[in-house]
Structure 1
Amino acid sequence: MVIVVIGGVLTTLPLEFGFLLAGRVLQGIGLGCVPLLMSVARTHMSSRGSASTIAGLSVASTVGIGVGYPLIGLIEQVSGLRAAYGLGLALSVAALAVAWLVIPREKPGPVPRIDWWGAALLALGTTGVLILIADQSVWRTPLGWLPLLVASVVVLAGWVTVELHVPAPLVNLRVLSQPTVLGANVAMLVAGVGMYLLFTLFTRYLQTPSSADYGFALPGIASGAALIPFSALGFVAGRTTPMLIRRTGVRWAYLLSAVAVMCAAVIFALTLDSMAAVMIAMAVLGFGVGGISAVMPRLVLTRVPDEETASVLTVNAIVRSIGFSIGSAVGGLLLTVATSDGELIPARGGYVTAALWALPPLALSVAIVCARPVTRRGRART
Structure 2
Amino acid sequence: MSSILASIKAALTGATAANGDRADAGPGAGHGTGPDATPRDAAVDGSASGHGAGGTPLIVSAGGAGRRHSPSSVEELELELLLEALFQCHGYDFRGYDRAVVTRKVQALRAQLGLATLSALQSRILHDDESYNALLRALYVNPALMFDNALEVSMLRLSLGAGLHGVALPRVWLADCAGAQQAWTLAILLDQEQLAPRTEIHATVASDAMLAEARQASLPMARLSELQANYVRSGGIGKLIDYFDVSADGLHAVLKPHLNSRITWAQYNLVTDASFNEFQMILGQRALPDFGPALRKRVLQLFDDSLAPFGTLALDRPLDDHDPLARHYKPLLAHQSWYKRIA
Q: Same fold judged by TM-score > 0.5?
A: no
Structure with higher Rg: it is 2
Bigger strand share: 2
Bigger helix share: 1
- TMscore range, shorter length: under 0.3
- Using the size of structure 1 for normalisation, the TM-score is 0.20
